[in-house]
């Protein structure tokens, strides 16, 4: 079907769906305390979409008007033969797809950075919540900070733009926010702070205890740095401010304190083929069943369009009453970071 003649994906609130986040695996080599339990039971491999199935699904979304594709996990770079998939997605760049990116914990970047660049990736988001080795081990349980720092070096040497994503955790990294801004400024990297989201049961962790409102983060930052709001956007939910002293940007992703749903252009595809129209809702569409039942892409397109008609106006996450409201049962690693 001619891509030009294909009607775009429009949700019930007249938002064009142009951004797809795809989890290629629920597995990860870290066990971050806000993301998953330490002793996770991962999905059997037969439940996961094959890379060929992911290729077919994502190519269909591009044909339907998706212009930005972000690959996530778990940790996407631990999936076997994942570079084949990046090569397949890279063929759409300039032919419907504007950007191919990924979010990674950085542990595997040192060996994959050059290949990612060759596939058409131009920027990556690296999740890094602390620059302190002991805290890093405590947060990730299994990770080594040195591996991530080497990965960031390799990405920059390969010519990839790196943005750091840091989950704001009260009592954990709230004393490091100034150091993070300074370090990112010295490395020429933008930094985005993210509020912790209530997803999945986590070995007795209290979501409310972890919650560090980005209103408080910004107030604390402005005690040292000059922040000027900008209209810069990357296609995601972050709102950015320029740091006068470093020249870099700081982004704020505030699903709890300031709902950003009104402009949501995103849907999320899990590694099992479930399409979630909203991160904070449990409604989904089983595209794996459609994929495996028919080789007709018209049937797949129809299933995707039907799912988009169920995209809600927004999520229900709320900490304002000093309780966790709107919590969903699946772990973040299942849906994709």
Residue numbering of the annotated binding site for S-adenosyl-L-methionine: 34, 74, 127, 197
- 171's torsion region: left (phi>0), alpha (psi -120 to 50) or beta? left
Query: CA-CA distance, 182 to 79, in Å (whole number)?
Result: 33
From the list 335, 315, 337, the residue with the least C-alpha distance to 325 is: 315
Annotated binding site for [4Fe-4S] cluster: 28, 32, 35, 261, 264, 278
What backbone phi and psi angles, to 5 degrees, belong to 307?
-65, -40
HEC per residue, 241-298? EEECCCCCEEEEECCCCCCCHHHCCEEEECCCCEEECCCCCCCEEEHHHHHHHCCCHH
Annotated binding site: 21, 28, 32, 34-35, 70, 74, 103, 127, 163, 197, 261, 264, 266-268, 278
Q: Residue 75's beta-bridge partner residues? A: none
Q: Residue 266's beta-bridge partner residues? A: 19
From the list 140, 227, 137, the residue with the least C-alpha distance to 177 is: 227
- The torsion angle over the Cα atoms of residues 299, 305, 307 and 313, rounded to 10 degrees, is 180
């Amino acid at each position: 079907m001619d891509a030009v003649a294909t009607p775009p994906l429009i949700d019930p609130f007249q938002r064009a769906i142009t951004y797809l986040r795809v989890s290629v695996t629920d597995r990860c080599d870290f066990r971050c305390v806000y993301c998953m339990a330490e002793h996770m039971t991962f999905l059997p491999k037969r439940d996961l979409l094959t890379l060929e199935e992911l290729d077919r699904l994502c190519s269909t979304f591009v044909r339907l008007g998706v212009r930005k594709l972000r690959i996530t996990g778990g940790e996407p770079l631990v999936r076997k033969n994942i570079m084949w998939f990046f090569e397949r997605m890279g063929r759409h760049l300039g032919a419907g797809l504007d950007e191919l990116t990924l979010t990674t914990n950085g542990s595997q970047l040192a060996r994959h950075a050059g290949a990612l660049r060759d596939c058409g990736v131009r920027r990556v988001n690296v999740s890094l919540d602390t620059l302190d080795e002991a805290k890093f081990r405590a947060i990730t349980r299994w990770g080594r900070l040195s591996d991530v720092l080497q990965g960031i070096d390799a990405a920059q040497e390969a010519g990839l733009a790196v943005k750091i994503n840091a989950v704001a955790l009260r009592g954990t990294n709230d004393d490091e926010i100034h150091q993070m801004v300074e370090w990112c400024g010295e490395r020429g990297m933008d930094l985005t702070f993210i509020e912790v989201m209530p997803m999945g049961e986590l070995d007795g962790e209290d979501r409310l205890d972890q919650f560090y409102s980005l209103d408080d983060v910004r107030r604390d930052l402005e005690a040292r740095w000059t922040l000027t709001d900008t209209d810069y956007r990357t296609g995601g939910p972050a709102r950015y401010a320029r740091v006068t002293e470093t020249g870099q940007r700081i982004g704020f992703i505030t699903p709890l304190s300031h709902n950003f749903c009104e402009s949501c252009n995103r849907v999320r595809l899990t590694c099992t083929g479930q399409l979630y129209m909203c991160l904070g809702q449990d409604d989904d569409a089983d595209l794996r069943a459609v994929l495996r039942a028919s080789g007709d892409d018209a049937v797949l397109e129809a299933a995707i369009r039907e799912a988009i008609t169920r995209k809600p106006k927004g999520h229900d996450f709320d900490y304002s009453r000093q309780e966790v409201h709107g919590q969903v049962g699946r772990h973040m690693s299942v849906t994709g970071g």
